[in-house]
Amino acid sequence: MEELLQQIAECIEFGKINLASPYPPNMKGQDGADELTKKALDMGVAPQEILNNSLIVGMSKIGVKFRENKVFVPQVLMSAKAMNTAMIHLKPFFNSGAVQRKGVFILGTVEGDLHDIGKNLVAMMVEGSGFEVIDLGVDVKIEKFKEALDQHPNAFVGLSALLTTTMAAMDRTNKELKEAYPAIKTFIGGAPVSDLFRAQIGADFYSADPQGLVEILNGLVA
């Protein structure tokens, strides 16, 4: 059983989606995350165990590699595809309550900014670490963040920006959300922002990479 869970984790880490997938070349012709996750469930492995000991493990490993510049965006995207394929088999158990999420993370690129690659990577990594992700997309107005928080009052909030010109929108968004929901924890990220900027606008956390964000979140829910 442990060997099967390890195989699923490796499929996630290296981006092996299914049997038909030719990537990575050294795993060609082998079962992928799709088949192995179904096999584990058929063998009676608990869905929570698959999430904790396979999906989260695999995504954590690729996240660390990405932070250390040992892999790049295409490899992370392949890992995310493998994770999403495995997640399809687990979704019914999330919906029934048999598998518990660690928490909810609301995420969006702030108003005026249309960039989404960094945000999408964060969404994939956070979901792969066991959180429910509410991805609001790009050019997100403050009202949309508020609507999501009204539906998920205990959620964490991530604000993304890639342009220096939209840092002001990030500042406004953070301030208004903090005023309306004093208890929320906000996170900021993106190329032009820094921990100094985080302190200036009153956000709670900054991370330069997705794995760092995941580690902060895990610390908050531990």
Q: Give pLDDT tens digits for 10-45.
A: 999 999 999 999 999 999 999 999 999 999 999 999
Percent of the chain with pLDDT over 90: 96
Q: In the prediction, which pLDDT does 57 show?
A: 97
Q: In the prediction, which pLDDT does 97 show?
A: 87
Give the global pTM.
0.92
68, pLDDT greater than 90: yes
**Alpha carbons 207 and 70: distance in angstroms, whole number:** 18
Give the residue-averaged pLDDT of 161-172. 97
98, pLDDT greater than 90: no
Question: What is residue 134's three-state secondary structure?
Answer: strand
The predicted-structure confidence for 194-216, as pLDDT tens digits, reads as follows: 999 999 999 999 999 999 999 99
**Alpha carbons 3 and 10: distance in angstroms, whole number:** 10
**Alpha carbons 123 and 170: distance in angstroms, whole number:** 18
Alpha carbon separation from 34 to 51, 88, 148, 177 (Å, rounded)? 13, 9, 31, 39
62, pLDDT greater than 90: yes
Architecture of 2-96 per CATH? Answer: Orthogonal Bundle (1.10)
Evaluated on CA atoms 142, 148, 153, 158, the torsion sign reads negative
Average pLDDT for the chain: 96
Enumerate the domain spans of the chain. Answer: 2-96, 104-221
CATH code assigned to 104-221: 3.40.50.280
Question: What is residue 105's three-state secondary structure?
Answer: strand
Q: In the prediction, which pLDDT does 9 show?
A: 98
Q: In the prediction, which pLDDT does 169 show?
A: 98
95: pLDDT confidence band, cut at 50, 70 and 90?
confident
User: What backbone phi and psi angles, to 5 degrees, belong to 107?
Assistant: -140, 140
